[in-house]
Structure 1
Amino acid sequence: MKLSFEYGQGMMEANLPDSTDIFIPGETVADPPVLKDIVGATRQSILNPIGVEPISRQVHRGSKVAIIFPDRVKGGTQPDSHRKVSIPIIIEECLAAGVEEKDITLICSNGLHRKNTKEEIRSLLGDTIFDRFWPTGQIVNHDSEDWSNLVDLGYEETYHARVIMNRQVFEADLAVLIGHTLGNPYGGYSGGYKHCATGITHWQSIGSHHTPAVMHRADFVPVSTNSLMRSKFDAIGQHMEARMGKKFFCCDAVLDTYQRQIAVFTGAADQIQPLSWQVADRRTYVHWAKKKYDVMVFGMPQAFHYGNGMGTNPILIMQAISAQIIRHKRVLSDNPVVICSSLCNGYFHDEEFPAYREVFGLFQKDYSNILPDIEKHAELLSRKQEYIDKYRFDYGYHPFHAFSMISCAHIAEQHCAAIYIVGAQEPGYARAMGMKTRATFEEALADAHKYVGNSLNILALPKAFKTASVHLCMADGYDQEAAQTAAWR
């Protein structure tokens, strides 16, 4: 069969065996239905929070309000997106309770991601809220290196993770987290305590969980909400609450493949997380596969989640491949082969990912045999003023982000027999990361036989990075069958 996969700005064709199974999120298996009345359901949720008092009882004239919203990486920009629906309702409730508009600040929780531009923030919040709050400086990006607006809360007790957070949020009388419950390879889902633990902290806080010691554990792959990473998110968020003397007011939407709301839950993070996960599980953990797959095939565009150049930057190429392994490990055989199309042309996009080229260079020398070997350089580069300035003032990713992505990138090497990049314009970049290169899907598949045998079970993911991924699972009853088959072999 002929299929097309993402490749740079366009597509690349592949001629795969007719026995290939195809999965497209939201199409192969339909998502749960979206809310019919998004505004009404969101308002009802906000007015009736779980585990915390309603806004009307938490604030009054003179209260300071911080509304924390996710950056462009998550949540969509459609007119009825969760940010655009929930934030006006929350502002309305604050004003009705006596809060003055000048005392409301909207904070983009970009964490170590690059700061969002003026145009991007407008697209996230919509014209009305943007035009109302931007001119007065009441919409800001979190700056994890602005120590005048950070507060060091020491170490949380359970895991001894450093907790450094945004001061405006810490000092607010009401701290609102606008989140999205959508499948995520890091801890199962976005939203909840993951939002505050990664979005409004410092690299030293994020360095307590986005590291090999956490991400290379057995509980990290396949993805779940029962990993050490997720537990650390919760511990950090709860330490923030204990030191603030109040709970976050969380408003999380469960999203479908197209960023549309399936449900909305509002209240204390520790109480709404399990409720939102229960609904999200029906969309995210898709029990579909009737066999284990030896080969997984997909394509990578130049620009997706983190920005332009993600699909050509060699570190991020391997991180994105690892993310697919994390999500789909339940349906993959032991030591599978991955085949992925990518331009792989050496375009790091140094302006947006300023530290990545140097980090890539470190991997090429000084006895760096596997990606975790360069973790020793993380603190030095994370303190390099040139890169910090690019993060703070020039819309670049923080230097520690490169090391957090390398921690993830190594997972592909851990779990795969071989990783092929097809269509690379400068294939040396892929080979320098430990990947193999071939000109076409067909050539890669022919070579893969030496790793996985002649009878290949192939899984094709034609829209792997154009849609919100699911976490594929074995169909009901097939896990046991697969185990028996393995025992017979």
Structure 2
Amino acid sequence: MKMEFEYGKGTVEAELPDNIDIFIPGETVKDPEYIPEEQLEKAYLESLAHPIGMPRLSELADKESKVTFVVPDRVKGGEQETSHRKLSIKYILRELYAAGVEKHNILFIISNGLHPKSTPEDAKAILGNEIFNQFWHTGQILSHDSEDKEHMVYLGMTESQDPVYINKYVYDSDIPILIGHVQGNPYGGYSGGYKHSATGITNWRCIASHHVPSVMHRSDFIPVNGGSLMRSKFDEISMYMEEKMGHPFFCCDAVLDTQSRQIAIYSGYAKEMMPISWKTADKRTYVHWAEKKYDVLVFGMPQKFHYGDGMGTNPIMMMQAISAQVLRYKRVMSDKCVIICASACDGYFHEELWPYLRELYEMFQHDHMNILPDMNRYGEYFATNEEYIRKYRFANAFHPFHGFSMMSCSHIAEMNTSAIYITGAQEPGYARGMGMKTRATIEEALEDAKKKYVGDSPNILALPMTFRKAAIHLCMKNPEEDCMDEYGRRKSEHR
């Protein structure tokens, strides 16, 4: 069977056995029905009129209210004219204005966390022309700057002794509004809700309480689920923010499908709203399909996806992307599973976007660095590097600590596979430097895996379009065969 997989700026062809299984998100198993465009306004107005667990915005707001929208960056959520960001803000503004809120008291914070600050083009793509033109030129659309000491507030320590910092504009506002996407995320099950505030409007010291090996390498984190220690930390940190602000966030989250279309819209108090939104999202995200465990997963990696151009060629980001798939597919992987991934791997690190990753990679090759967690002791060294911080603040680069959260995730692939093959690498030494095997083609990698790991008749799952579609978390068709359910409970706990 001939198949095409993502590779570089195009695709690569491979000849695979006829008896392989294929899974494509949104196609192999259809998503739940999305809300038709002509019904979206009604759905938003209904959700905003009946928020879960708190009063509606028109009851909270008045003429003196200062309102801050916290809006996700371009990493996820769609940019179509009917995207959740654009429509939710449109209808929320309508209600705020009707309640007497004045335009000059409204602020937008793009919650990039440790991601690059948004350019004007990014902000326009996220918010749409109408909102951009109304608020950009008056300085009312800002990117979160976690290193801007004047506009960060230290709130203290949670009960778990995690330090909490929050964007001062959000802290000072009367009505902080979180606009979130309930899409599958390898870090704690879903984006949106309290994950949004715990990562998007804080700083690296707070994020270092959960995006680290001691949290990400626990058994409750793998496979992805909503019951991990990381997820509980998101909740604790965000609820601590609410306690110190003296009021909750008002959340407006949309459950999205593979094309980032709205399946359902939920508004209100995140603590009460998230469990309800997850029940809807579970139907799209945790897909109970597999009838057997797979010994080989095959997919391809484009040069540009998710975090930016170069993610599919930069060796650290490549490894993180592979580990994210392990988190999503672990329930259907056999104990001897091998991953085969096509990647151009040509040495393009994209230093403008990730100025510190080449140095990180080089350090990993020396000083007794045997596995990726050995690098974690350098986290603060990089996170406080003034030149890298300047590039984050003023040159649209990732914050240097972001690389350590990537490395923490990256080790998960090694922890849970027999081998990882990169095929088609133009500079294969970079892949080998991360502990991956290299072969010229997918076919050669499969033959080598058969001899060494999986035998002559492995169960093979092909995953085309892995990085072009909003991902799912694949499960066994019979849920009792999964090692863990959506909420982090081991199956033995049900029996």
Same fold, TM exceeding 0.5?
yes
Distance 2:151 2:46 in 1: 34
State the AA in 2 paired with 1:302. Answer: Q
- What SS is found at the alignment partner of 1:399? coil
Alignment of 1:230-309 (within 5 A): 230-309=231-310
1:328 is matched with 329
Give how far 1:335 is off. 3.0
1:20 is matched with 20
Distance 2:122 2:73 in 1: 9
State the AA in 2 paired with 1:33. Answer: E
Distance 1:335 1:140 in 2: 48
Give how far 1:96 is off. 1.2
Give how far 1:262 is off. 0.1
Q: Does 1:146 align with 2:132?
A: no
State the AA in 2 paired with 1:197. Answer: A
Q: CA offsets, 1:356-391, max 9 Å, x none?
A: 111111101110000000100010110000000000
Distance 1:411 1:38 in 2: 39
Distance 2:303 2:41 in 1: 35
Q: CA offsets, 1:423-444, max 9 Å, x none?
A: 0000000000000000000000
Q: Does 1:216 align with 2:217?
A: yes
1:462 to 454, 461, 464: 464
2:34 is matched with 34
Distance 2:352 2:264 in 1: 38
Distance 2:385 2:480 in 1: 51
Normalised by the length of structure 2, the TM-score is: 0.96
Give how far 1:94 is off. 1.3
2:488 is matched with none
Alignment of 1:60-139 (within 5 A): 60-139=62-141
Q: CA offsets, 1:47-73, max 9 Å, x none?
A: 211111111111111211000110000
Alignment of 1:197-208 (within 5 A): 197-208=198-209
- What SS is found at the alignment partner of 2:359? helix
Distance 1:478 1:342 in 2: 35
Alignment of 1:425-444 (within 5 A): 425-444=426-445
Query: Contact 2:311–2:317 at 8 Å: present in 1 too?
Result: yes
Distance 1:477 1:398 in 2: 39
Distance 2:187 2:389 in 1: 24
Distance 2:390 2:93 in 1: 33
State the AA in 2 paired with 1:16. Answer: L
1:365 is matched with 366
Give how far 1:452 is off. 1.3
Distance 2:33 2:471 in 1: 17
Give how far 1:99 is off. 1.1
Gaps of 5+ in 2: 484-495
Alignment of 1:172-183 (within 5 A): 172-183=173-184
Give how far 1:117 is off. 1.0
- What SS is found at the alignment partner of 1:137? coil
Distance 1:480 1:359 in 2: 36
Distance 1:217 1:335 in 2: 20
- What SS is found at the alignment partner of 1:154? strand
- What SS is found at the alignment partner of 1:111? coil
Give how far 1:477 is off. 6.4
Q: CA offsets, 1:381-425, max 9 Å, x none?
A: 100000000000000000000000000000000001000000000
Gaps of 5+ in 1: 482-489
Query: Contact 2:476–2:482 at 8 Å: present in 1 too?
Result: no
Which segment is superposed worse, 232-241 or 113-122? 113-122
Distance 1:39 1:390 in 2: 40
Query: Contact 1:68–1:109 at 8 Å: present in 2 too?
Result: yes
Cα 1:477–1:302 change in 2 (3 A) is closer
State the AA in 2 paired with 1:41. Answer: A
Distance 1:160 1:96 in 2: 42
- What SS is found at the alignment partner of 2:233? helix
Give how far 1:149 is off. 0.6
1:51 is matched with 53
State the AA in 1 paired with 2:230. Answer: M
Q: CA offsets, 1:310-330, max 9 Å, x none?
A: 000100000000000000100
Give how far 1:478 is off. 7.0
- What SS is found at the alignment partner of 2:401? helix
Q: Does 1:475 align with 2:477?
A: yes
Give how far 1:455 is off. 1.6
RMSD, aligned α-carbons? 1.0
State the identity as a percent. Answer: 59
1:487 is matched with none
State the AA in 1 paired with 2:221. Answer: F
State the AA in 2 paired with 1:134. Answer: W
Query: Contact 1:291–1:478 at 8 Å: present in 2 too?
Result: no
Distance 2:364 2:265 in 1: 44
State the AA in 2 paired with 1:14. Answer: A
- What SS is found at the alignment partner of 1:123? helix
Query: Contact 2:332–2:482 at 8 Å: present in 1 too?
Result: no
State the AA in 2 paired with 1:34. Answer: Y
State the AA in 2 paired with 1:391. Answer: Y
Cα 1:186–1:271 change in 2 (3 A) is same
1:4 is matched with 4
Distance 1:160 1:89 in 2: 39
Distance 1:230 1:390 in 2: 30
Size of the aligned set, in residue pairs, is 480
Q: CA offsets, 1:441-469, max 9 Å, x none?
A: 00000000111111200000001000011
Distance 1:250 1:446 in 2: 50
Q: Does 1:317 align with 2:352?
A: no
Distance 2:44 2:182 in 1: 14
Q: CA offsets, 1:15-61, max 9 Å, x none?
A: 00011100000000000000131121012111211111111111111
Give how far 1:476 is off. 2.3
Normalised by the length of structure 1, the TM-score is: 0.97
Distance 1:373 1:46 in 2: 48
Distance 2:472 2:204 in 1: 28
State the AA in 1 paired with 2:171. Answer: F
